[in-house]
């Protein structure tokens, strides 16, 4: 496997992760019981583990590491915010309004992470 193949695998898992988060968030907003299905609770962990593994592989392959490359640092910080907001949106939010606000904020973080990945600029200015 070469760098570009790994990069495309990483991008594929990123799309899967974001799309599945969007679907789960919409199910949360509608009160769907689908969120309680076993596969729905397990699949995000599998997808996100593979996404993280491919990210580590890319960092090692390219010798670009968080806290050395500003754009990767920004992605890591935004990833932590995305995870925290995602757990509030899907599990820990006490009210539907808190969950909805956390869901929108998590989607914004995901968009920021994707924009930084494309531009390699933490300020996301083309």
pLDDT of residue 38: 97
Q: Can you give the pLDDT of all 126 residues of the chain as single tens digits?
A: 899 999 999 999 999 999 999 999 999 999 999 999 999 999 999 999 999 999 999 999 999 888 898 999 999 999 999 999 999 999 999 999 999 999 999 999 999 999 999 999 999 865
Chain-centre distance for alpha carbon 33 = 23
Distance (Å, rounded) from C-alpha 78 to C-alpha 69? 14
pLDDT of residue 126: 54
Distance (Å, rounded) from C-alpha 29 to C-alpha 40? 16
Q: Answer yes or no: is 97 within a domain.
A: yes
Report in angstroms the alpha-carbon separations of 3 from 50, 71, 112.
16, 19, 23
Q: Answer yes or no: is 50 within a domain.
A: yes
Q: Answer yes or no: is 23 within a domain.
A: yes
Q: Answer yes or no: is 88 within a domain.
A: yes
pLDDT of residue 4: 94
pLDDT of residue 64: 87
pLDDT of residue 16: 98
CA-closest candidate to residue 118, choices 65, 74, 80 = 74
Q: Answer yes or no: is 126 within a domain.
A: no
pLDDT of residue 1: 83
Q: How many domains does one find in the chain?
A: 1
Range of the domain at 84: 3-119
pLDDT of residue 124: 82
Chain-centre distance for alpha carbon 41 = 16
Phi-psi region of 50 (alpha: psi -120 to 50; beta: other; left: phi over 0): alpha
Distance (Å, rounded) from C-alpha 4 to C-alpha 57? 11
**Number of C-alpha atoms within 13 angstroms, CB side, residue 81?**
17
pLDDT of residue 29: 96
Q: Answer yes or no: is 61 within a domain.
A: yes
pTM, two decimals, is 0.91
Q: Answer yes or no: is 124 within a domain.
A: no
Q: Answer yes or no: is 125 within a domain.
A: no
């Amino acid at each position: 496997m070469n760098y570009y193949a790994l990069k495309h695998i990483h991008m594929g898992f990123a799309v899967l992760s974001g799309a599945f988060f969007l679907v789960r968030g919409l199910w949360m907003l509608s009160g769907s019981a689908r969120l309680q299905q076993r596969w729905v609770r397990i699949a995000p962990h599998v997808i996100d583990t593979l996404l993280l593994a491919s990210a580590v592989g890319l960092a090692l392959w390219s010798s670009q590491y968080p806290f050395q490359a500003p754009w990767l640092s920004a992605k890591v910080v935004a990833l932590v915010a995305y995870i925290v907001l995602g757990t509030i949106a899907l599990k820990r939010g006490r009210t539907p309004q808190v969950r909805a606000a956390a869901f929108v904020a998590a989607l914004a973080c995901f968009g920021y992470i994707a924009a930084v990945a494309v531009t390699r600029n933490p300020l996301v200015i083309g």
